[in-house]
């Protein structure tokens, strides 16, 4: 153990825990499915670079091919699993998949169960995206990786640093899930708005997969402290305000007749814009790059804070939320505030007054179980 204790969220703690994970993954057994998948992704990328260049539209999975499979279009099925648009994205995706594989496949589920989970989620995500008209051309496994990341977060696998060099040992059990979310956050920030919606769908399906376990409901009921109820409701309000509720009323067209029980009367009297999330996805240039980036930051950070013990960190999101609200008012889509805009203001208010769930030095995560701690790596003979 190191002589001077360091906090897990300090810069030194983050750097040292990252080095520990890389060392432990290097000396341990490799996850078979993840290694084969990453090798195939790199092979496909190099083949397209040197042999047969292809754009996303040429290899993506189409709705007709999902609902009516055609073996003759096998390049598009292969493209859905293996396509990456450029070198940077290839490095990013394979790093993301590698961290998931070494954490969940190797240390918890095993190759068969992990590959089954991966294939099932890979089939469900495009079906949902096509059904909701979020996309009509999908390629790449980023959204599936986001779904698996949610499952990994729930498993809360802990890693000890006893077997590494004392210079990089840390006085706490490492939680790889937060390193995985850091990679996911970068991917979401740099993703195009349409791709970001696909990633959110992946997270939702991953959450549904986790909630199918009856034990999860018992854990949720036992851990719903006032602070957790506060941040949970704040997250729900943000999802509704960002992705469901209309952003703005275009104009009020009141003809003197009142029929509040008729939904068509509301839509006719108060014609409105779509939700802010849909506007950002369909017209990113119209709302501006700044608003897109702010929306991505809040969308990835708020669920992460809600899943941690440090719920009071939500107050840090007040600034991006306020900036996002101000940017919305400058767009051509905003006229009269509708429910979506009101909910975003309420989310900013609630984020500022989010209480603390426990001591900041407490272990991150509510489902800590000593049996989840991975066995420490043994030092290779002759290694220092």
pLDDT one-digit tens code per residue, 63-119: 888 888 888 888 888 888 888 888 888 898 999 999 999 888 888 888 899 999 999
Residue 222: pLDDT band with limits 50, 70, 90: low
Rounded to whole angstroms, what are the CA distances from 34 to 170, 266, 359, 365? 27, 51, 37, 26
Give residue for tokens 């990679």: 183
How far is residue 149 CA from its own chain's centroid? 7
Rounded to whole angstroms, what are the CA distances from 319 to 239, 248, 315, 316? 18, 22, 8, 7
Q: Determine how many CB atoms are found less than 10 A away from the CB of residue 46.
A: 11
pLDDT for residue 371 is more than 60: no
pLDDT for residue 143 is more than 50: yes
Q: Name, in order, each residue with C-beta under 8 angstroms of 261's C-beta and a sequence gap of 6 or more.
A: none
What pLDDT does residue 362 have? 43
β-strands 373-374, 336-337 pairing: unpaired
35: helix, strand or coil: helix
Mean pLDDT on 213-222: 71
What pLDDT does residue 358 have? 55
pLDDT for residue 40 is more than 90: yes
Q: Quote the tokens at residue 232.
A: 């949970």
What pLDDT does residue 193 have? 66
* CA–CA separation, 329 and 326 (whole Å): 5
pTM score of the predicted model: 0.71
Rounded to whole angstroms, what are the CA distances from 306 to 68, 132, 134, 271, 349? 40, 26, 26, 34, 16
Q: Do 184 and 146 touch, CB atoms closer than 8 A?
A: yes
* CA–CA separation, 167 and 170 (whole Å): 9
* CA–CA separation, 269 and 229 (whole Å): 36
pLDDT for residue 322 is more than 80: yes
What pLDDT does residue 377 have? 43
């Amino acid at each position: 153990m190191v002589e001077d204790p360091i906090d897990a969220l300090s810069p030194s703690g983050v750097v040292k825990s990252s080095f520990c994970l890389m060392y432990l993954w290097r000396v341990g057994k490799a996850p078979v499915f993840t290694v084969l998948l990453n090798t195939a992704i790199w092979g496909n990328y190099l083949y397209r670079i040197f042999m047969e260049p292809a754009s996303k539209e040429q290899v993506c999975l189409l709705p007709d091919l999902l609902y009516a499979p055609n073996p003759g279009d096998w390049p598009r099925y292969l493209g859905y699993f293996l396509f990456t648009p450029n070198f940077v994205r290839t490095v990013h995706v394979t790093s993301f998949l590698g961290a998931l594989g070494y954490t969940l496949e190797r240390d918890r589920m095993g190759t068969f169960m992990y590959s089954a989970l991966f294939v099932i989620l890979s089939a469900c995500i495009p079906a949902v995206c096509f059904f909701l008209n979020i996309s009509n051309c999908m390629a790449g496994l980023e959204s599936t990786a986001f779904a698996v990341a949610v499952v990994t977060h729930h498993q809360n696998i802990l890693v000890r640093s006893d077997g590494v060099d004392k210079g990089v040992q840390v006085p706490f059990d490492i939680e790889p899930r937060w390193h995985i979310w850091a990679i996911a956050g970068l991917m979401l920030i740099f993703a195009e708005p349409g791709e970001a919606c696909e990633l959110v769908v992946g997270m939702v399906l991953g959450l549904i997969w986790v909630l199918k376990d009856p034990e999860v409901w018992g854990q949720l009921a036992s851990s719903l402290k006032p602070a957790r109820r506060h941040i949970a409701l704040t997250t729900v309000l943000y999802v509704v305000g960002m992705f469901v509720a209309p952003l703005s009323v275009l104009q009020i067209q009141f003809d003197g007749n009142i029929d509040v029980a008729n939904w068509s009367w509301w839509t006719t009297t108060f014609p409105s814009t779509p939700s802010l999330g849909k506007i950002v996805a369909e017209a990113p240039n119209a709302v501006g790059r700044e608003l897109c980036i702010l929306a991505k930051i809040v969308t990835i950070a708020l669920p992460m804070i809600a899943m941690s013990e440090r719920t009071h960190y939500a107050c840090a999101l007040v600034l991006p939320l306020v900036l996002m609200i101000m940017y919305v008012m400058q767009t051509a889509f905003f006229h009269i505030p509708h429910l979506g805009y009101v909910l975003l203001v309420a989310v900013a208010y609630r984020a500022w007054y989010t209480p603390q769930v426990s001591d900041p030095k407490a272990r991150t995560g509510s489902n800590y179980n000593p049996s989840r701690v991975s066995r420490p790596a043994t030092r290779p003979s002759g290694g220092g």
